[in-house]
Amino acid sequence: MKWTIHELMKHAKTDNQINTVVDLSQFIDGTDIISISDVKVQGEYEVFDQEEFVFYLEIECELILPCAITLKEVHYPMHIETEEVFTTFKDDDSHYIEGITIDLLPIIWSNILLEMPMRVISEGAYDEVTYENDEFEEEVTNVFADLKNYDK
């Protein structure tokens, strides 16, 4: 998913479609993601004034995430629609093109991470957990209770 800006300009009018499947499983280390399916990327792009490249992308995949309560595996399908803008000039609303290539893989991965939920709950997770705690049955005293009467 890496092109030179010259390739993109050459194909902008005739072959500007994107339809590919990528494997991003090498990126999941250090995340809460247990596994990720192959990522289907579809869309198209436009070139404006040979300085601005706009990609209209649909990203589809399935994540396997741990349940926040039981740690069971939860299948989480994702469908993301995004518009990504790359420019040859620095702009706060776009990605700056350093050199002559545009690589969409980091952009696709960052969109997946941004849309990934903070926590997922498996079906029936609340039924499997008891909230009783026999370990702390005795009354706990507040160790800071004496400080509220303390005068400076």
What are 94-106's pLDDT values in tens digits?
A: 999 988 999 999 9
Q: Specify if 51 maps to a domain.
A: yes
Residue 65's nearest CA partner among 128, 129, 125, 118 is 118
pLDDT band for position 129 (50/70/90)?
Answer: confident
Please check whether residue 23 lies inside any domain of the structure.
yes
d(CA 71, CA 32): 11
Give me Rg for the CA atoms of the chain.
24
Residue 142: inside a domain, yes or no? no
pLDDT classification of 135: cutoffs 50, 70, 90: low
pLDDT averaged over the chain?
88
Q: What is the pTM of this model?
A: 0.79
Picking from 80, 4, 98, the residue whose alpha carbon sits closest to that of residue 41 is 80
Mean pLDDT of the 84-95 span: 90
31 has a pLDDT exceeding 60:
yes
> Residue 94: exposed, middle, or buried by beta-carbon count in 10 A (0-12, 13-18, 19+)?
middle
Domain of 17 in residue numbering reads as 2-126
Domain count, the chain: 1
